[in-house]
């Protein structure tokens, strides 16, 4: 039972988890500008600022969770504030959902305090916003599945809760949904009581399976004609199993780089140091739980009157949290690092294994055994403060971007040339790679490189409306004759390089401040 002090500390930590998302206007999340731009299109599909270039397809895709939530919030709030509220709620939901899952597997929910620093996982700073939303959804869905499959007579609504939660996971991220499916299959194997029992319990998961099947057919099996507009011709869908081009990373390399892939977005290594402190607290809790005689036996800790396990399946039934943690780790080791159109796949599963690690911990009893809880709260609070300070400092790196974009006419087509992607300015993960999409967020129109047309997104280009552009990592490949006439505006960060040095011969400067320069094609000048 939690004390009044523990409840007060939990409330403080939950407020602290939300704070970094309000520490500055611009968040240093790599892909976020792209998702914000698509979210504006989804919320305003008929707006002339977007309708000329894009169409919103009402088809099944696994990113609707983020875009539908953003569309609803934008009815009341500006797009940037809506996003900050949604991401803050997502971060707060991580320890809350983890507490529910730990309770479902018979472990002390207070160990969810160890999940506070993991709310700021590296995937978040990559700007994988839809994946970030899927993290607490996965924990919630897995807890609901445990309750449904563990209890001989689940409570009323248990099936509906598990079904709704699994559908939400799919609508946030297909990769997370696949991991959920693996975990649910393991729970069926552990708790199964015959074919009839399995069929009745499986009914809860049919709606999400139907959604996944419709999307998978469209993304992997159904051919798309050459006339269909998309992100690039080969990414309109992922292709069949033989054409995925799957690449695996050596398992030892995955484990070697696991720390930075969990908490490693800051240049100064402060988040990695806090991750090390978190690991130390976890090991201390593990050692105290193993050595203190006051701790109850592991087998019967979860529920009063539970007998010691007898047999392998009984052992697994008594240790579902540990089983699920190991499954998440195995998924990280066995998943490709990339396939056609999707990168950084296997490392994403590490965050789930880390979040489920508290399932190995015994309930803290006695003052000494509660020490790790207090230390974990301190590390969690430090992680929140550290992240907020980095977001605050990032505003200096952004500089006058908003003021420069204010000079741009609305509804045009802008090509972004990121000669300085921001790596080394406080963050490792190139936070300015997609910053040109803020033109689309703030002024409408189109950008040279857009996520529109990716198989998981509900927005596509209208036929013939995607302009040629250089690969975003190589802006120096810009060629005026082939690309320049397609654009009204050009935004550069850093000094012009390569073919972009020809820009002054064809365009005039509209605004320039800090590292930002906004150009307008000279033929469009009044």
Cα–Cα separations (whole angstroms), residue 479 to 230, 468, 469, 489: 22, 10, 9, 15
Token pair of 311, please?
């047999």
The CA distance from 39 to 74, in Å, is 9
Residues 382 and 484 in one domain: no
Contacts of 443 (CB under 8 A, 6+ apart): 49, 405, 408, 409, 410, 411, 412
Please indicate, yes or no, if residue 74 is contained in any of the structural domains: yes
Residues 370 and 439 in one domain: no
Question: Alpha helices, DSSP H only, in 357-419?
Answer: 367-398, 401-406
3-state SS string over 264-301?
CCECCCHHHHHHHHHHHHHHHHHHHHHHCCCCCCCCCC
The CA distance from 456 to 64, in Å, is 9
Residues 341 and 430 in one domain: no
Instruction: Order the strands of the 516-521 sheet from edge to edge.
Output: 446-447, 413-418, 489-493, 516-521, 507-513
What's the pLDDT score for residue 505?
Answer: 96
Residues 372 and 448 in one domain: no
What's the pLDDT score for residue 221?
Answer: 79
Domain residue limits at 145: 4-30+61-220+250-293+310-392
Torsions phi, psi for 423 (to 5 deg): -65, 135
Residues 73 and 208 in one domain: yes
What's the pLDDT score for residue 243?
Answer: 67
Evaluate whether 419 touches 475 at the Cβ level (below 8 Å): yes
Tens of pLDDT along the chain (526 residues) come to: 568 899 999 999 999 999 999 999 999 999 999 999 999 999 999 999 999 999 999 999 999 999 999 999 999 999 999 999 999 999 999 999 999 999 999 999 999 999 999 999 999 999 999 999 999 999 999 999 999 999 988 988 999 999 999 999 999 999 999 999 999 999 999 999 999 999 999 999 999 999 999 999 988 877 655 444 445 444 456 666 566 788 999 999 999 999 999 999 999 999 999 999 999 999 999 999 877 643 444 434 444 444 566 789 999 999 999 999 999 999 999 999 998 768 899 999 999 999 999 999 998 877 787 899 999 999 999 999 999 999 999 999 999 999 999 999 999 999 999 999 998 889 999 999 999 999 999 999 999 999 998 888 999 999 999 999 999 999 999 999 999 999 999 999 999 999 999 999 999 999 999 999 999 999 755 4
| DSSP output for 307-365 | PPP-SHHHHHHH-HHHHHHHHHHHHHHHS-SEETTEE--GGGGHHHHHHHGGGGPPPP-
Please indicate, yes or no, if residue 303 is contained in any of the structural domains: no
What's the pLDDT score for residue 344?
Answer: 95
What's the pLDDT score for residue 294?
Answer: 39
Overall domain count for the chain: 2
Count of Cβ atoms closer than 10 Å to residue 172 Cβ:
27
Residue 200's H or E segment, with its range, is: helix 195-202
Count of Cβ atoms closer than 10 Å to residue 192 Cβ:
13
With vertex at residue 143, the alpha carbon angle to CA 131 and CA 219, rounded to the nearest 5 degrees, is: 35
For 466, which DSSP code?
Answer: P
Residues 335 and 439 in one domain: no
Q: For residue 247, what are the β-bridge partners?
A: 338
Count of Cβ atoms closer than 10 Å to residue 332 Cβ:
24
Last residue of a domain, one of 328, 363, 392: 392
Token pair of 488, please?
């009204």
Last residue of a domain, one of 363, 392, 421: 392
Token pair of 51, please?
């309708």
414 SS3 class: strand
407 SS3 class: coil
Last residue of a domain, one of 371, 392, 413: 392
pTM for the structure as a whole: 0.94
Token pair of 85, please?
């509220």
Residues 376 and 424 in one domain: no
The CA distance from 78 to 316, in Å, is 48
With vertex at residue 317, the alpha carbon angle to CA 311 and CA 320, rounded to the nearest 5 degrees, is: 135
What's the pLDDT score for residue 424?
Answer: 84
Residues 148 and 259 in one domain: yes
What's the pLDDT score for residue 308?
Answer: 60
Evaluate whether 351 touches 119 at the Cβ level (below 8 Å): no
Residues 376 and 463 in one domain: no
Of 156, 216, 154, 144, whose CA–CA distance to 180 is shortest? Answer: 144
What's the pLDDT score for residue 146?
Answer: 97
């Amino acid at each position: 039972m939690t004390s009044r002090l523990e409840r007060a500390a939990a409330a403080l930590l939950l407020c602290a988890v939300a704070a970094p998302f309000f520490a500055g206007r611009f968040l240093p999340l790599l892909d976020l500008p792209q998702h914000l731009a698509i979210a504006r299109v989804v919320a305003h599909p008929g707006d002339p600022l977007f309708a000329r270039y894009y169409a919103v397809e009402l088809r099944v895709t696994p990113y609707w969770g983020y875009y539908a939530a953003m569309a609803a919030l934008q009815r009341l709030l500006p797009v940037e504030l809506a996003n900050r509220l949604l991401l803050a709620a997502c971060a707060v939901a991580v320890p809350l959902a983890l507490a529910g899952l730990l309770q479902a597997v018979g472990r002390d929910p207070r160990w969810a305090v160890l999940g506070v620093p993991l709310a700021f996982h590296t995937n978040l700073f990559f700007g994988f916003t839809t994946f970030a939303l899927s993290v607490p959804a996965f924990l919630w869905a897995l807890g609901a599945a445990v309750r449904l499959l563990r209890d001989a007579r689940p409570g009323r609504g248990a099936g509906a809760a598990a079904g709704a939660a699994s559908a939400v996971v799919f609508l946030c991220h297909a990769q997370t949904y696949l991991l959920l499916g693996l975990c649910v299959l393991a729970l069926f194997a552990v708790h199964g009581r015959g074919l009839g029992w399995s069929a009745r319990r499986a009914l809860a998961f049919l709606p999400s399976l139907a959604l996944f099947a419709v999307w998978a057919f469209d993304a992997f099996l159904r051919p798309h004609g050459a006339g269909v507009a998309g992100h690039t011709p080969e990414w309109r869908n992922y292709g069949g199993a033989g054409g995925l081009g799957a690449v695996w990373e050596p398992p030892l390399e995955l484990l070697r780089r696991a720390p930075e892939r969990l908490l490693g977005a800051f240049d100064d290594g402060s988040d990695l140091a806090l991750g090390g402190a978190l690991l130390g607290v976890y090991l201390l809790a593990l050692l105290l739980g193993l050595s203190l005689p006051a701790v109850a036996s592991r087998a019967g800790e979860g529920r009063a009157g539970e007998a010691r396990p007898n047999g392998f399946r009984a052992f697994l039934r008594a240790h579902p949290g540990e089983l699920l943690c190991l499954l998440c780790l195995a998924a990280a080791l066995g998943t490709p690092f990339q396939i056609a159109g999707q990168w950084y796949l296997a490392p994403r599963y590490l965050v789930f294994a880390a979040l489920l690690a508290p399932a190995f911990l015994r309930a803290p009893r006695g003052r000494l055994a509660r020490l790790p809880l207090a230390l974990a709260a301190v590390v969690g609070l430090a992680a929140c403060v550290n992240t907020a300070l980095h977001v605050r400092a990032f505003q200096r790196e952004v500089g006058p971007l908003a003021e420069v974009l204010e000079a741009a006419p609305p509804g045009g087509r802008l090509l972004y040339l990121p000669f300085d992607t921001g790596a080394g300015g406080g963050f490792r993960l190139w936070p300015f790679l997609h910053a040109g999409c803020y033109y689309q967020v703030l002024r409408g129109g189109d950008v040279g490189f857009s996520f529109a047309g990716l198989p998981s997104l509900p927005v596509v280009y209208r036929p013939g409306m995607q302009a040629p552009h250089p690969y975003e990592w190589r802006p120096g490949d810009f060629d005026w004759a082939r690309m320049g006439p397609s654009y009204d505006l050009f935004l550069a960060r850093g000094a012009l390089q390569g073919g972009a040095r020809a820009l002054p011969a064809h365009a005039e400067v509209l605004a320039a401040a800090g590292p930002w320069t906004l150009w307008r094609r000279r033929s469009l000048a009044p």
